[in-house]
Structure 1
């Protein structure tokens, strides 16, 4: 029989933290990287978000739903980075 947790920790904050980390990384890559190398660096940044998601979810100390939380973190990070890179791509099309 499983023992219920008396005061379960909130896990949604860890997911949002990875999304914010992804947004910061995508903006930094978009500003600093050349347009030819942005795609490659965004892949590296997404790998960093995966490592951050594992670290944050392991730090929370809850085993229930670990895979779902990591998946939600990484999927959200990919969407955030995709939207920001789309913005940089559209900005590159506009002549200055």
Structure 2
């Protein structure tokens, strides 16, 4: 008898984890940094999130769908960080008026 194949772990959890990390990083940077420095540090943080996305997906050890999972992680993180950045930008406009 052959051993039954183990069910592979769900790789989508890694995508969600990267999105959550990008939300936490964007909000932290938005709160701690002055307005003039936010954009530069958000770009640096996005670069780190891209590297984190590769690391998380490589840790799963599955080649199938790797590109789709990494792309989902990166694009989702870009959208999430963009929305958080827009909220901080609108808040800065409202407080300046």
Q: Under a length normalisation based on structure 1, what TM-score does the superposition of the two structures give?
A: 0.90
Instruction: Provide, for residues 12-55 of structure 1, a one-character-per-residue CA deviation record: whole Å limited to 9, x for no partner.
Output: 10000000000000001101111111111110110111011011
- Once the two structures are TM-superposed, the CA of residue 83 in structure 1 deviates from its matched residue by 0.4
Structure 2 unaligned spans of 5+: none
Structure 1 unaligned spans of 5+: none
- Look up the match of 1:89: 89
- Once the two structures are TM-superposed, the CA of residue 74 in structure 1 deviates from its matched residue by 0.5
Larger Rg: 2
Runs of 4 or more above 2 Å deviation: none
- Look up the match of 1:23: 23
- Two-structure CA RMSD over aligned residues (Å): 1.2
- Once the two structures are TM-superposed, the CA of residue 95 in structure 1 deviates from its matched residue by 2.5
Instruction: Provide, for residues 41-94 of structure 1, a one-character-per-residue CA deviation record: whole Å limited to 9, x for no partner.
Output: 110110111011011001011011111100100000000000001100000011
- Look up the match of 1:66: 66
